Amino acid sequence: MCDDHAAVAAGAASAHSPMVGRWLTLDRARELNSRSWFYSMLKDNPQLTAIYPGIENDILRGGVDHHIHAYPDFVHRSQDMLDIAVEAAKAGMRAIAFKDHYNLTAGVAYMVQRVIDDMVADGRLPQRVEVYGGLGLNHGIDPEAVRIALKYPNVKCLWFPTFKSYGWARFAGIADRDDPANRYVRLCSPEGEVLPEVREVLGMAAEAGVAIGLGHTDFTELLPVATVANELGVRTVLDHPLLELNKLLLSEMKTLADLGTYVGTYCQPMIPSIYQPVADPFETVQVIGEIGAQRCLAGSDFGQVLHLDAIDGMRVFVRALLGFGVAPDDVRTIVCDTPARLLGLEPAT
């Protein structure tokens, strides 16, 4: 990535270039949509001409996608859990994990694992993929619900509130400061203290060895929660902090990474889409470079009906990183090693 692009991607706005996002300037958005962008991108990234379908195969072998949306779910998804698991096994991936914003996915993950193992045993699949799930907490931070969920097999992650996040609503400017109807789920008090039920769930996650996705909240909540998580030894990850709906500044990501939180460098918004049509893919490249591959991890976050299928998305993501100059060893780290550590998987042999 050239220095000029890095500077723009970092959000170095001037008085002459208004912001259209937390990092993106109007000048950069115009550049990304200009007639000359395609040719200048190729000129600045000549390694793109060496990228071909299948170049990602070696990196995907042993890969882990810890954040996939699949059917059954409360909305339609592009694939069901078994479809994705079969594709992941064929790609040689090590593990996948399914997220539901509201409910427990571990039970279905267990049954999908049974089917995958049967398919391996009778020769329909060349190898096994590990299938995991967890619990989404948009119904509220309920320690008793978490306690029960942790009794299920195949649980590897808890996901803090997304659509019901108070921090997201505050960030979006739509939160009622008093919130009398409890429409949104808070992680911290108005004074910035981590709520007792949140601290209890963090402790339960630490004891059980499961990860926590920190959800769609803002830095005001993330900093105290990540601080307590670090004190308790909980593995945490920032869910797509480059997606505009809960976007963080690079300085905020660095602060949270210093507390031990992994930075989610996900397929979206690296791959711009109908869901976020104005995005700068080079922001992801810069984050990996400045945070370091050892603190970043990939995930598709796909399954939406207007996106690529999850494993196809990971394929394009890997190709893009390689084409934009991220070292193959670093790509392998964020696709294979760091997500495995997040989920508490044993080191690959």
Taking a C-beta distance cutoff of 8 angstroms, is the pair 298, 310 a contact? Answer: no
Per-residue pLDDT band for 8 (boundaries 50, 70, 90) equals very low
Give the pLDDT score at 24: 93
Asked whether residue 7 carries a pLDDT value surpassing 70, the answer given is no
> Tens digits of per-residue pLDDT, 287-335?
999 999 999 999 999 999 999 999 999 999 999 999 999 999 999 999 9
Q: Is 322 exposed, middle or buried (0-12, 13-18, 19+ CB in 10 A)?
A: buried
Per-residue pLDDT band for 347 (boundaries 50, 70, 90) equals confident
Give the three-class secondary structure for 8.
helix
Give the pLDDT score at 346: 87
Dihedral angle sign, alpha carbons of residues 92, 62, 133, 274: negative
Higher pLDDT, 88 or 13: 88
Name the β-bridge partners of 194: 188
Which pTM value belongs to this model?
A: 0.93
Per-residue pLDDT band for 272 (boundaries 50, 70, 90) equals confident
Asked whether residue 207 carries a pLDDT value surpassing 70, the answer given is yes
Give the pLDDT score at 9: 46
Give the pLDDT score at 5: 44
Q: Sketch out the chain's domains with CATH numbers.
A: 1-44 (no CATH), 59-342 (3.20.20.140)
What is the percent of the chain where pLDDT is above 90? 87
Average pLDDT of 266-273?
A: 90
> Tens digits of per-residue pLDDT, 70-85?
999 999 999 999 999 9
Give the pLDDT score at 57: 98
Give the pLDDT score at 181: 55
Query: 123-127, 178-182, 334-338 — which is least confidently predicted?
Result: 178-182
Average pLDDT of 131-145?
A: 98
Per-residue pLDDT band for 175 (boundaries 50, 70, 90) equals confident
Per-residue pLDDT band for 11 (boundaries 50, 70, 90) equals very low
| Helices 282-291 + 250-258 axis angle, to 10 | 40
Asked whether residue 28 carries a pLDDT value surpassing 50, the answer given is yes
Give the pLDDT score at 341: 98
Give the pair of three-digit tokens for residue 344.
Answer: 């508490």
DSSP state letter for 296? E
Asked whether residue 6 carries a pLDDT value surpassing 50, the answer given is no
Asked whether residue 156 carries a pLDDT value surpassing 80, the answer given is yes
For the chain, the average pLDDT equals: 93
Give the pLDDT score at 177: 60
**Preceding amide of 72 cis, omega within 30:** yes
What is the percent of the chain where pLDDT is above 70? 93
Give the pLDDT score at 178: 56
Asked whether residue 20 carries a pLDDT value surpassing 70, the answer given is yes
Per-residue pLDDT band for 183 (boundaries 50, 70, 90) equals confident
The order of strands in the sheet holding 95-98 is 64-68, 95-98, 130-136, 155-159, 211-213, 236-238, 262-264, 296-297
Average pLDDT of 174-185?
A: 71
d(CA 66, CA 46): 31
